[in-house]
Amino acid sequence: MTLRCCISKQCDQHNNAPSESTCYLIGLAIATCCHHLCQLKHYINKRYMLDLGIGKDDFNAMTWFTSWAVDAEHGSDLCGTDWSFDLQIRKNKHGESDLNTYEVKDLVKNMKAVDRAVVGLMCKDIIDVGRFMWLKEHGLECELLKYVPSNISPENRLLVARQKS
């Protein structure tokens, strides 16, 4: 919602020639957080999510998983953590995956906290990249930055955008 307020139709480079632009925005920096509160109906780049095959239920699950990013002990920087866990997908009598009966709680029951944190960070990144892509589509130069290590704060992402020079 903040991005919608900052980037009004007047800033849309696709509707105005640069010399005609009445956009007063020079730049913005938003520390992304509270991913767990996102709802697809309010999300800025629904098309990006849908293009990834992420619908409403998947999006809701992702936002739930984002809370895992702040639950773990962040004694070291999680970026690039080598995470893995055993994923045993049940097979039906025809030898096909039976994901419909496989519940999330079964999948994550034995995951270590650090593994859950990495999954949470990945979900946060997907949400933030959609925001990033929306800003680029509106003619802004953008960066997604990590401004402090995870051991200082796992809420450490900054979305920076500015008018193209």
**CB distance 87 to 115 below 8 Å:** no
pTM here is 0.74
Residues with Cβ < 8 Å from 126, sequence gap 6 or more?
52, 54, 62
Which has more pLDDT, 1 or 59? 59
Q: Would you list the domain boundaries of the chain?
A: 2-163
Residues 81-95 pLDDT 10s: 443 434 444 445 555
Q: Which residues contact 118 (CB under 8 A, 6 or more apart)?
A: 78, 81, 83
Which helix (H) or strand (E) segment holds residue 34: the answer is none
Mean pLDDT of the 52-73 span: 89
Res 14: pLDDT: 47
- CB of 140 within 8 A of CB of 128? no
Mean pLDDT of the chain: 78
Position 65 scores a pLDDT of 92
| Start-end of H helices in 67-137 | 104-108, 113-137
Is residue 24 helix, strand or coil?
coil
Q: What percent of the chain has pLDDT over 70?
A: 68
